[in-house]
Amino acid sequence: MAVPLAVAGVVPTVVAPPALRVAIAGLGLIGGSAGLALRAAGHAVVGYARREETRRLAVQCGAVDDAPATLAEAVAGAQVVLLAPPVLAMRELLGLVAPHLAPGAVVTDAASTKADIERWALDLLPAGARWVGSHPMAGKETAGIEHADSALFRERTWCVVPPPGADPEAVAVVTRLARDTGARTMEIDAASHDRAVAAVSHMPFMAAAAIAQSVIARESFGEIASIAGPGLRDMTRLASGDAVMHRDICLTNRDNLVAELEEYVARLSQAISLLRRQPDPDDAAGHPAVAEMGAYFADLKTARDTWLASR
């Protein structure tokens, strides 16, 4: 009779899967932080960046084991290749990396939008390579390898975005790497991803940019700056994010973003209409617009507090 090991008092040994040979092309905040986290998890990491100074810094801060001077050397023999350049540079980078990939290499990325990039990847990568997109939902207002942080992805959502008919083993490899950085993974298709991030991430940063433009960039801001508090600071924080990243997101998620911004403007216009209906404050008691405005804020407070409590 077969006795389960645990019953027999033998502690089953969990065999850790072997460490992977990872190449990271693009050693900015995201690439550098991924390198730090993946090396800490035991993987072998080779990095590549165009600028020699960046490669030197990446080795120096421990984000990579090695950073050869060419993309071909960096990618040679890698089981997984993580592409982490600015979004609009992805297309060119996919073309540059394609001829040097090891047979069966899993290729993934870290860009904020997914549908255009998936199309480029399936178009440009060789038949033997296995594409699975990904998007770590993490960042900082400070770009560059010098701000790389091994804890950047901890407890954050990392979207794993397999194309139609993706190899399950390749999906598992990307999922494993994401989890090894401390992130929680979430599998989602590219179109759904881009629609969702347009709502929860891209529209909000456009809103922050427009507040910065409307208030901070106005000519007379100097006269009112001393009265500004944490509200304005927090509501414009996202406008201090990387300008190239924001531009590239706009370019590769344009249609979803326009739809979300139009919905947002419609909501603002409703609020303006409600404000216009308000009575003179001297005669406010019992006016229906006052009750409506009170319910507007109370309902939204409840919706947000409920969301935060459920996280």
Residues 119-178 that bind its own copies (CB under 8 A): 137-138, 156-157, 159
Q: Does 2 bind its own copies (CB under 8 A)?
A: no
Measure the CA dihedral 222/228/232/236, to 10°: 30
Using CB under 8 A, which of 52, 146, 169, 263 touches its own copies?
263
* Residue 60 Cα distances to 69, 79, 150, angstroms: 15, 24, 14
307 binds its own copies (CB under 8 A): yes
Contacting residue, 20, 124, 129, 257, with its own copies by CB under 8 A:
257
Looking at the Cβ atoms of 55 and 91, the one nearer to its own copies is 91
Mask 264-283, x = binds its own copies (CB under 8 A)? xx-xxx-xx--xx-xx-xx-
* Distance between CA atoms of residues 311 and 309, nearest Å: 6
Count residues contacting its own copies (CB under 8 A)?
Answer: 96
Q: 47: which 2 tokens?
A: 């990095």
Does residue number 191 form part of the binding site for its own copies (CB under 8 A)? no
**Of residues 9, 231, 286, 288, which one binds its own copies by CB under 8 A?**
231
Site string for its own copies, 54-93 (x = CB under 8 A): ----------------------------------x--x--
Q: Is 177 exposed, middle or buried (0-12, 13-18, 19+ CB in 10 A)?
A: buried
Half-sphere exposure for 124 (CA within 13 Å, toward CB):
19
The 8-class DSSP code of residue 111 comes to -
R_g over Cα of the chain = 24
Q: What is the smallest separation between the CB atom of 251 and its own copies, expressed in angstroms?
A: 5
Tokens of 156: 């954050």
Asked if 109 is part of the footprint of its own copies (rule: CB under 8 A), the reply reads no
Q: Which of 72, 122, 191, 224 binds its own copies (CB under 8 A)?
A: 224
| 303 belongs to the binding site for its own copies (CB under 8 A) | yes
The 8-class DSSP code of residue 4 comes to P
- Evaluated on CA atoms 17, 18, 24, 28, the torsion sign reads positive
Residues 14, 6: contact at Cβ < 8 Å?
no
Does 243 interact with its own copies (rule: CB under 8 A)? yes
Q: At 282, phi and psi to the nearest 5? A: -70, -25
Residue 14 in the binding site for its own copies (CB under 8 A): no
What is the nearest approach in angstroms of its own copies to the Cβ of residue 269? 7
Select 93 or 257, whichever has its Cβ closest to its own copies.
Answer: 257
- Report residue 212 as tokens: 């910065």
Q: Min. distance of Cβ 278 from its own copies in angstroms?
A: 5
